[in-house]
Amino acid sequence: MPPDAVEHALATLGITVMLPSNAKRVPYEEWHRELRHGDHVIVRSEGIMFHHAIYIGPYTPPGQDEEKDYVVDMVGDGQQVDLRLRTMSKFLKTKGRYELAVLEYSEDTQAARDFTARLALLAQARLGDVDGLYNLLGCNCDHFASWCRTLRIIEIYQADLQAMGSHAPASKQWARCPHLICSNQTPKN
């Protein structure tokens, strides 16, 4: 079903699918001119799904000779999470891609772009695959990209974590991520 038809069907039910209010649309053919390293990027696929990542920019991964534009994104399958370093061209081929946008943050809520990009790369290198971290509603690609860009856990989720304390179930422990990235411990897979 075409994206416009899905949106129309949802609208008849009173459901509006919109980009976040702080999102700036970026034409697909102009992403290479519009994006800056450290940007929180979103690809909207057909229907109501959004996929989030941190744009790294031109980068040459260890062991490779060619510089390409990369993103770090998070995908999950059940409880398993995978932080991936992907080329921008693969990220833009997200199933049924429909829209590309950049989330813009105010100066007082964002980390420096260099830091954001390096943090995303460090997270990908340190964590890779981690059991028990992914949860579609509580720990997903949006949470990861927002955390890298702002160094904050999304507020509604943070309240849940504080209420649960150290007894939070594994799927509710996004707060583990900063500790795992910055510690000398190897994450348990």
For 150, other C-beta atoms within 10 Å of its C-beta total: 17
The mean pLDDT of 48-57, rounded to a whole number, is 88
Q: Residue 85: is its pLDDT beyond 50?
A: yes
Q: Residue 26: is its pLDDT beyond 90?
A: yes
The pLDDT mean for the chain works out to 75
Count of structural domains, the chain:
1
**Termini Cα distance of the chain:** 38
In a domain, 67, yes or no: yes
In a domain, 7, yes or no: no
Tens digits of residue pLDDT in 126-145 = 776 666 667 666 678 888 89
Q: Which helix (H) or strand (E) holds 12?
A: helix 3-12
Range of the domain at 95: 18-182
In a domain, 10, yes or no: no
Q: Is the pTM for the entire model greater than 0.85?
A: no
Of 94, 108, 93, nearest to 141 by C-alpha is: 94
Q: Which residues contact 164 (CB under 8 A, 6 or more apart)?
A: 172
